[in-house]
Amino acid sequence: MIVCIAEKPSVARDIAEVLGAHTRKEGYIEGNGYQVTWTFGHLCTLKEPHEYTPNWKSWNLGSLPMIPPRFGIKLIENPTYEKQFHIIEGLMQNADEIINCGDAGQEGELIQRWVMQKAGARCPVKRLWISSLTEEAIREGFAKLKDQTDFQSLYEAGLSRAMGDWLLGMNATRLYTIKYGQNKQVLSIGRVQTPTLALIVNRQLEIANFEPKQYWELKTNYRDTTFSALIRKSDEEIAAEEEKNGGKKKIDNPGIDPIANREEGEALVERIKDLPFVVTSVGKKDGREFAPRLFDLTSLQVECNKKFAYSADETLKLIQSLYEKKVATYPRVDTTFLSDDIYPKCPAILKGLRDYEVLTAPLAGTTLPKSKKVFDNSKVTDHHAIIPTGVYAQNLTDMERRVYDLIARRFIAVFYPDCKISTTTVMGEVDKIEFRVTGKQILEPGWRVVFAKDVKDPTEEKEEEDENVLPTFVKGESGPHIPDLNEKWTQPPRPYTEATLLRAMETAGKLVDNDELRDALKENGIGRPSTRAAIIETLFKRNYIRKERKNLIATPTGVELVQLIHEELLKSAELTGIWEKKLREIEKKTYDARQFLEELKQMVSEIVMSVLSDNTNRRITIQDAVAAKAEEKEKKETKKRERKPSAPKEKKPKAEKATAEVTSDSTTSSTPAVAPAATSSATSSTTGGVDAWVGQPCPLCGKGTIIKGKTAYGCSEWRNGCTFRKTFE
């Protein structure tokens, strides 16, 4: 009898149907010489510390570092899991052959290997490796079964990751909890979790410590077109631009020096206002814009967060559901390319997109283009980019439909012609001061028609406005103009959203727009595409971060924890990225798993020694999420007694939650991120006293004064672009 083991009951049912196994038994499906069974994700896990030695049961510094001589696995304590495992064990003990039908990835390999080890399987093992769950893909996969040995490096990488997370997580969590914690609360430290938190905290501190600087822009209006004076770039700006462009050197640096003060700017206006504006050059350049790349998991999570405000975890669950419904391919991928063998299948996939016939009709009956930007075997390892399967998508939820729509349109768009554009740059001059304006015109929309009905976010709309079509200018023409001096303020960096945090995790904290550069940095990204969503959720559960609209805000506890950790290896995204790269190299057989673990053991030992040698009396007070909710509830009841709620009931808890979390945490935290004035102002507002914030000069723009809104303080100059905002605390 051949035993097939899948990762979920639903996947097992699909496989059994294709294999002709129709007899339902307890815990498996039998028929046609096959027994198809399933796990529920992880059935096994690494043993707890006390299961290696009783001395590790109690938390004490003397037992650290905990380094097992040999790692062991155990069944997860759950009656359902234990029952299913014993069924699997019985089937495997009597099997002639086992076919591993787990998800085709590192985690899927680890899940099933552990089950087979625990069950004591001794027969030959084959591997089913498929990228979708359609009947065709399953039949094709069973016709091309691979040997289990072909995936040994994949298993070793997954095992190394699990053991590495155990070594660092178990030791660092106990170490920091005992050394610095109080109130019997656990300080959770993780190999990926902590550097991710550090990214958020560091960004937050940058914003808190940001000092806005005033600057001026010289512009002039000629023929109803606004030209901007060229400003000479600083050496730092040139260096940053070169890095962003992949090292391409830019020699030209024309323009005037930055305008240092209003007097200097007004002098320039006076100097040029009565002189004619002369057009010195008109350049027109035709170009092409390529269709957006196909989705990998991270880019899909980013897009869903931007467009629909879905969390990374929500998007992962939705795309997993689409995969199990057979309408999308395997989701846990980190490539945006397709392999060459997918190309012949593309016409049939397009034909299957029945709800998109208006868009696919122009492609029907034609030879589809085969671009290297889409099809590239060298950029595909285990799985290709996420695309539709061609199975008709029906019975989808609204949320699933939105995600599917993104995937389908991206897939259609890559076969459309490039968008042809024309960029016009007009240069002008007044008294040797150079001015410039740029406009863009779409000549042929090409792939843009696929996204014609897309609702653009405000930032995209702004970009479109900047890309205006210019009137016709002729070199040498001149005439009167109206110069103007615009006062501006430098802006702090933006807080992370889930979209930008995912990008930062993908590139170890280096945010880049260039796709090629991003691909290169992926090697050093932290976490796996499939685990990043869970990492972010863990930070929420630990009460280290909270969400304010789309922004991710570190709680005072989160800030204090990162500031407490002096060991860069624990909190540096870049250093953690190096470890992630080694795990990928294990998978590619270019790095030894044993060496990785030895290096990690050495690192853990050094961290323990470093923390133990700290003679300061530093402490951190942790407030868990349960306590925060309890305090929130108490605050809510108090507010109900004090006054009637002015906002709708469903909106009120959200506002109160934010207030409760910040206020309660700030009273027990020593972090400088929360200003003392904030607490006092919040208190005065509830007792009917004078609000200390209202009427104060704006700390961001310096022009306006602080005003009080429904949920936050703002600046009276908000209509003029000041973005200062401070939530009630």
Q: Which residue has the higher pLDDT, 454 or 42?
A: 42
- The mean predicted confidence, pLDDT, of the chain is 85
DSSP type of residue 47: P
How much is the pLDDT for 466? 43
Residue 501 has pLDDT above 60, yes or no: yes
Of 318, 372, 366, 319, the residue nearest 346 (C-alpha): 366
Per-residue pLDDT tens for 639-655? 444 444 444 444 333 33
Is the confidence at residue 659, as pLDDT, over 50? Answer: no
Q: Which residues contact 284 (CB under 8 A, 6 or more apart)?
A: 422, 423, 424, 425
Relative orientation angle of helices 106-119 and 79-93, to the nearest 10 degrees: 70
* pLDDT for residue 678 is more than 60: no
Which residues in 154-192 are b (16+ Cβ under 10 Å) and which e? bbbbbbbbbbbbbbbbbbbbbbbbbbbbeeebebbbbbb
In the prediction, which pLDDT does 246 show?
Answer: 59
Task: List, for residues 465-477, the tens digit of each pLDDT value.
Answer: 445 689 999 999 9
CA nearest 172: which of 618, 612, 613?
612
In this predicted structure, the answer to whether residue 680 has a pLDDT above a threshold of 60 is no
Q: Which tokens hold the place of 505?
A: 């995790």
Residue type, 535: I
Distance CA 98, CA 115 (A): 12
516-573 pLDDT, tens digit per residue, is 666 666 777 898 888 999 999 999 999 999 999 899 999 998 999 999 998 888 898 8
pTM assigned to the model: 0.77
Cβ neighbors of 722 (< 8 A, separation 6 or more) are 489, 698, 700, 701, 703, 704, 715
Contacts of residue 548, defined as CB under 8 A and 6 or more positions apart, other chains included, come to: 495, 658, 727
Residue 385 near residue 294 (C-beta atoms within 8 A): yes
Instruction: State the CB neighbour count (10 A cutoff) for residue 259.
Output: 22
Q: How many CB atoms lie within 10 A of CB 632?
A: 18
Cα separation, 89 vs 6, whole angstroms = 14
Residue 405: predicted pLDDT:
97
Helices 498-506 and 532-541 cross at an angle (nearest 10°) of 130
* Tokens standing for residue 309: 């405000």
Task: Count CB-CB contacts under 10 A for residue 528.
Answer: 23
N- to C-terminal Cα separation, the chain: 66
pLDDT band at 695 (very low <50, low <70, confident <90, very high): low
Q: 499, 464, 587, 546: which is closest to 729 by C-alpha?
A: 546
What are the catalytic residues?
Answer: 330
Q: How far is CA 266 from the centre of its chain?
A: 45
Cross-strand partners of 484:
219
User: What's the pLDDT band for 342 if we cut at 50, 70, 90?
Assistant: very high
CA dihedral defined by 51, 53, 54, 55, rounded to 10 degrees? -130
Q: Which amino acid is at 530?
A: S
Q: Is the pLDDT of residue 24 over 50?
A: yes
DSSP classification of residue 146: E
Distances (CA, A) of 155 to 102, 347, 593: 12, 35, 10
Q: How far out from the chain centre does Cα 646 lie?
A: 36
Q: How confident is the model at residue 580 (pLDDT cuts 50, 70, 90)?
A: confident
Q: Which residues pair with 6 in a beta bridge?
A: 38, 101
Q: What is the mean pLDDT of residues 705-729?
A: 71
pLDDT mean over 370-381: 90
Separation of alpha carbons 174 and 177, rounded Å:
5
Residue 703, pLDDT score? 64
Two tokens, residue 632: 């929130």
Q: Region of 557 please: left (phi>0), alpha (psi -120 to 50) or beta.
A: alpha
719 vs 689: CA distance, rounded Å:
28
Q: Using 50, 70 and 90 to split pLDDT, how confident is the model at 249?
A: low
Per the CB < 8 A criterion, the answer to whether 427 and 419 are in contact is: no
DSSP letters, 235-293, are HHHHHHHHHHTTS-------SBPPB-SHHHHHHHHHHHTTSPEEEEEEEEEEEEEPPPP
Q: How much is the pLDDT for 267?
A: 94
Helix (H) or strand (E) holding 602: helix 593-612
> Which positions ≥6 away from 254 have C-beta within 8 Å?
230, 232, 434
Q: What are residue 428's DSSP bridge partners?
A: 279, 435
**Among 402, 277, 262, CA closest to 328:** 402
